[in-house]
Amino acid sequence: MCGIFAYLNYNATRERRHMVELLFNGLRRLEHRGYDSAGISTDADPCRAPVTVSSGAVLPSPPPLVFRQKGKIEKLVSSFYHEAVVVELDLELSFTSHAGIAHTRWATHGEPSPINSHPQTSGEGNEFLVVQNGIITTYMDLKETLLKYGFHFESDTDTEVIPKLAKFVHDILNEDLGSDGGDKQVVPFTQIVMDVMRQLEGAYALICKSPYYPNEIVACKRGNPLLLGVKETGDMRTDINVESDLSAEGHHGKPKEYYLASDANAIVEHTRRVLVTQDNEVVHMNDGAVHIFKFDSDKSRRLLRPASAQRGLSTLEMEVEQIRKGKFEHFMQKEIHEQPDSLTMTMRGRLIRGGEQKAKGILLGGLKDHLKTIRRSRRILFIGCGTSYNAALAAIPVA
CA dihedral angle for residue 122, residue 157, residue 368, residue 399, rounded to 10 degrees: 180
Cα angle, residue 107 at apex, residues 102 and 113 outer, rounded to 5°: 75
- Of 33, 29, 31, 30, the closest CA to residue 1 belongs to 33
Within 10 A of 45 (CB to CB), how many other CB atoms are there? 11
CA distance 297 to 381: 27
Torsion over CA: 302, 303, 304, 306 (sign): negative
Active site residue 2: yes
Within 10 A of 14 (CB to CB), how many other CB atoms are there? 18
Contact 4, 83 (CB under 8 A): no
The b/e string for 359-392 (b: 16+ C-beta within 10 A; e otherwise) is: eeeeeebbeeeeeeeeeeeeeeeeeeeeeeeeee
Contact 26, 270 (CB under 8 A): no
Helix (H) or strand (E) holding 162: helix 161-179
3-state helix, strand, coil in the chain (%, to 5): 30, 25, 45
For the chain, the maximum distance between any two Cα atoms, rounded to a whole number of angstroms, is 67
Residue 206, beta-bridge partner list: 132, 220
> Measured in whole angstroms, how far is the alpha carbon of residue 353 from the centre of its chain?
26
Q: Where are the beta strands (DSSP E) in 319-386?
A: 351-352, 361-362
* Residue 150, phi-psi category: left (phi > 0), alpha (psi -120 to 50), beta (remainder): left
Which of helix, strand or coil describes residue 127? coil
Contact 50, 59 (CB under 8 A): yes
Contact 266, 3 (CB under 8 A): yes
CA distance 326 to 41: 32
Question: Which residues does the annotation mark as catalytic?
Answer: 2
